[in-house]
Amino acid sequence: MNVIPPSPVLPIEGRHVLHLFYRIDRSVWTYFSEEEKLEGRSQLVSVIEEIRATPDTQLLLLSGVTPKADVGFMLITPDLQFADEASKRLTTSLGPEVLTPVFSWLSMTERSEYTMSEEEFLASLKPEEKTEERIAGFRARMDKYGKDRLYPNLPDWPVVCFYPMSKRRDDGQNWYSLDFAVRKELMQGHARVGRTYSGRVLQLITGSTGLDDGEWGVTLFAHTTSEIKSIVYEMRFDEVSAKYAEFGEFYILLQLPLDALLRRLSL
């Protein structure tokens, strides 16, 4: 009997992003025979290789530093059907009930509505600065910025931090009651702080409104935990965070090659 695969579920632009975090149930894994353990490892490797061979798809392998999670996966792919299938295959790859889900987050890459427009850029220039070269340079930067947001190529930097966040709607601190111009000015100031960490911290902010419990997922990549700690601390003094941000649980993970991850997990 031929099974007709479901039609792809694709965004208008961008990618689906799925964070999956698990604990390993050692009480189950311990009672597997050596043959069953080998089969489980082989199946996990096979699933990971198949996912990574899929066009326009990235799969990051993460070791959880704290007991909140032993292992994590970050999947970026266009098709939600594929993301759903991949997540279920990863969950069962080592064998029944070995990987216990402890946290997940679904989001999508997206443009920022607060990006500086060309009109705003031109208004910021003196008449003598409005050259074709300056304008072309601005357009090229904005084009690259948009593509990096929608279709990121994530680095293999070792330290990864993930946390969900939303904007407050409290009386007197309702982000969505502010005029758009005010929100845009605040966010551009917030972004200036982030740009001071260019080359040290890569930030991927993905939208989860209507997809998960909060409004955004924030994934930070760095070479050291000091940079993660520093950027999160400094940004909390910015008005956008100090008055309007609500944060979820933080996860600190280490990005590892597959063989190193299996050794780290004692699988």
| Rounded-to-integer distance, Cα 95 and Cα 229, Å | 37
Is residue 240 a contact partner of residue 147, using CB atoms and an 8 Å limit?
Answer: no
How buried is 151 (Cβ within 10 angstroms: 0-12 exposed, 13-18 middle, 19+ buried)? middle
Residue 99, phi then psi, degrees to nearest 5: -95, 120
Catalytic hit among 22, 31, 114, 163: 163
* DSSP assignments along 5-44, one per residue: PPPP---SSS-EEEEEEEEE-HHHHTTS-HHHHHHHHHHH
251 is catalytic: no
Separation in Å, CA 201 to CA 159, 233, 257: 10, 13, 20
Catalytic residue IDs: 163
